[in-house]
A and B are shown apart, each in its own frame.
Chain A
Amino acid sequence: MKKHVTKTEKQTIALGKKFAKSLKGGEVIALSGNLGAGKTIFTKGLAEGLGVKKIVTSPTFILMNVYDVKNKKRKGDEPFLTPQLGKKKSKTSSFTRSTSPIKKLIHIDCYRLNSAQELETLEQLNILTKKTQ
């Protein structure tokens, strides 16, 4: 197991950004730590690394925030974007998003959930009720 220690917000964001590049889609990432540990900050970096355009805020209130991972094209790229599979990932982070197969980043606050079953229900409901579908 690798261990990384960050000492500032900037470093945590940078780590998240770097970590984003190793993701292929379908991963579940557990962020565990006390209040103020930097879970949301890490997610901000991760989102930035993936190419999420929206501001990542704390999911505490609505438990689950869903972010679209944007393609390079700006206009009209929601919601049914075909990922450009097969292309090699570029080394610079600003271009990885155009080739990433990842479509969505889901940020969940598990603090008040009683069971995994609840999480599943929540996720299904969120996907089912999403306006774009």
Chain B
Amino acid sequence: MNKNHSTIILGIETSCDETAAAVVEIKNGSPRVEAGKFKILSNVVLSQINTHKKYGGVVPEIAARMHLENMLPVVEQALDESKKTPKQIDKIAVTVGPGLVTSLLVGVETAKNLAYAWRKPIVGVNHLKAHLYANWLENKTIKFPALALIVSGGHTEIIYMKNKTSLKKIGQTVDDAAGEAFDKVAQLLDLPYPGGPEVSKLAKQGDAKKFNFPRPMLNSKDYNFSFSGLKTAVLYQSQKIKKLDKKTKANICASFQQAAIDVLVSKTLKAAEQYKVKTIMLSGGVAANELLRETLAQKTKELKLDFFKPAQFLCTDNATMIAAAATFEKPTDWKKIKVDSNLEI
């Protein structure tokens, strides 16, 4: 390949309630996203949060309809901002799963149509892998072996990476995802949707030691998590208190958040020690949680490990990470691209 050759990738993401498209340029003949060898030309994310807010969660049918309405304008805007024409696009990357099947289908069918009409190769991307590969967009070289903690509304997983393409899931939640626990605690306390950011916001005014919530599976020998019992403990606690004023809610939020983060951090560090990794990466929507970012950053520093976390806008769902992850996969025929809502790493 020519040393100056660059590859332009159009990424498309619709796995949940964000319609997203992005254009990423891979430079200097590099086959993959690597430090200093890429440029984000555009990153368009249209969030439906305001619509789903009134229902307290994503309503699949509404999400699908909104994706349909917004998909092409979002792609168009991504192309416009990147100043690239369809002709200049080398590859199309699209999320095939995991996610809401009704949402995923819109992005996948759009990508397939574009691939067919523009005669471009297409890559089906695993959304979870993309969260992980978002760390490659930090423009620094990642040392291996590495460990990735992926925390989002739907997933909580620890992935061991021997090298940049070898991914092995070594732990996961056995019930609720961490983000889901945040959302459900918010629901219990009558906080608005999406609950995660609301809980952390309120937690800042609270005392994390006020309530001693359980740290489920903290001492289990595996790297699995459980957040369902913690959520139930919060439920029982909040039922015990007759009047939930703002102060009490803040204390509950702070204590809950501390319990959840204690488990996430402790399990990750235990796995890091066991697998003798050089790097720890934090990914997924919950990676935007400040306390989690700070705690993990500090602990990894103490252990003299490299710590990576994508910038905030690359933690939440976006199409830039989809384009980035596509550079680790082979393109395929558009006919072979299929949605798989239960896709795993």
State yes or no: do A and B come from one complex: yes
Please give, as numbers and ranges, the residues of chain A lying within 8 Å of B180 by CB-CB distance. 58, 60-61
Segment of B32-40, B99-107, B143-151 in the binding face: B99-107
The answer to whether residues A61 and B55 also contact, given A35-B188, A112-B60 and a CB cut-off of 8 A, is no
Q: How far is the CA of A1 from the CA of B174 in the complex (A)?
A: 32
Q: In angstroms, how far is the closest chain A Cβ from the Cβ of B238?
A: 11
A36 engages B232 (CB within 8 Å): yes
Please give, as numbers and ranges, the residues of chain A lying within 8 Å of B60 by CB-CB distance. 63, 112-113, 118, 122
Q: B173 contacts the other chain (Cβ, under 8 Å)? A: yes
Please give, as numbers and ranges, the residues of chain B lying within 8 Å of A35 by CB-CB distance. 184, 187-188, 231-232, 235
Please give, as numbers and ranges, the residues of chain B lying within 8 Å of A62 by CB-CB distance. 98-101, 154, 341-342
Q: How far is the CA of A120 from the CA of B16 in the complex (A)?
A: 19
Instruction: Give residues of chain A (87-133) contacting chain B, Cβ–Cβ below 8 Å.
Output: 111-114, 118, 121-122, 125-126, 129-131
B176 engages A58 (CB within 8 Å): yes
Q: Which residue of chain B has the shortest Cβ distance to A43 in the bound complex?
A: B175
Q: In angstroms, how far is the closest chain A Cβ from the Cβ of B52?
A: 9
Q: How far is the CA of A15 from the CA of B210 in the complex (A)?
A: 35
Q: How far is the CA of A51 from the CA of B56 in the complex (A)?
A: 34
A55 engages B58 (CB within 8 Å): no
Interface residues on B, range: 35 or more
Interface residues on A, range: 20 to 34
Instruction: Give residues of chain B (168-217) contacting chain A, Cβ–Cβ below 8 Å.
Output: 172-177, 180, 184, 187-188
Q: B228 contacts the other chain (Cβ, under 8 Å)? A: yes
Q: B153 contacts the other chain (Cβ, under 8 Å)? A: yes
The answer to whether residues A65 and B342 also contact, given A60-B176, A126-B101 and a CB cut-off of 8 A, is yes
Find the residue from A113, A118, A131 having the highest chain B CB count within 10 A.
A131
Interface string of B299-343 (1 = CB under 8 A from A): 000000000000000000000000000000000000000111110
Instruction: Give residues of chain A (35-83) contacting chain B, Cβ–Cβ below 8 Å.
Output: 35-36, 40-41, 44, 55, 57-58, 60-66
Please give, as numbers and ranges, the residues of chain A lying within 8 Å of B339 by CB-CB distance. 125, 129
A interface SS class: loop
Q: Which residue of chain A has the shortest Cβ distance to B227 in the bound complex?
A: A58
Q: B245 contacts the other chain (Cβ, under 8 Å)? A: no
Q: Which residue of chain B has the shortest Cβ distance to A66 in the bound complex?
A: B342
Find the residue from B55, B102, B188 having the highest chain A CB count within 10 A.
B102
Q: How far is the CA of A61 from the CA of B176 in the complex (A)?
A: 9
A114 engages B174 (CB within 8 Å): no
Q: How far is the CA of A131 from the CA of B176 in the complex (A)?
A: 25
Q: How far is the CA of A114 from the CA of B52 in the complex (A)?
A: 13
Q: B57 contacts the other chain (Cβ, under 8 Å)? A: yes
A126 engages B341 (CB within 8 Å): yes
B101 engages A61 (CB within 8 Å): no
Q: Which residue of chain A has the shortest Cβ distance to B181 in the bound complex?
A: A58
Q: In angstroms, how far is the closest chain A Cβ from the Cβ of B210?
A: 20
Q: How far is the CA of A40 from the CA of B176 in the complex (A)?
A: 9
B175 engages A58 (CB within 8 Å): yes
A114 engages B340 (CB within 8 Å): no
Please give, as numbers and ranges, the residues of chain A lying within 8 Å of B172 by CB-CB distance. 55, 57
A112 engages B175 (CB within 8 Å): no
Q: In angstroms, how far is the closest chain B Cβ from the Cβ of A40?
A: 6
A111 engages B57 (CB within 8 Å): yes
B102 engages A125 (CB within 8 Å): yes
Please give, as numbers and ranges, the residues of chain B lying within 8 Å of A111 by CB-CB distance. 57
Q: B61 contacts the other chain (Cβ, under 8 Å)? A: yes
Please give, as numbers and ranges, the residues of chain A lying within 8 Å of B184 by CB-CB distance. 35, 60
Nearest 10 CB-CB pairings of A with B: A61-B154, A36-B232, A129-B339, A36-B235, A58-B176, A125-B101, A112-B57, A131-B340, A112-B59, A126-B101
Q: List 23 A-B contacts (CB under 8 A).
A: A35-B187, A35-B188, A36-B231, A36-B232, A41-B175, A44-B175, A55-B172, A55-B224, A60-B57, A61-B180, A62-B100, A62-B101, A62-B341, A63-B60, A64-B101, A112-B55, A112-B56, A112-B57, A112-B58, A114-B59, A121-B102, A129-B339, A129-B341
Knowing that A57-B172, A62-B100, A112-B57 touch, tell me 18 more A-B residue pairs with CB under 8 angstroms: A34-B235, A35-B184, A35-B187, A40-B175, A41-B175, A41-B228, A44-B175, A55-B174, A57-B174, A57-B177, A58-B175, A61-B155, A63-B60, A66-B342, A112-B56, A112-B60, A113-B59, A129-B341
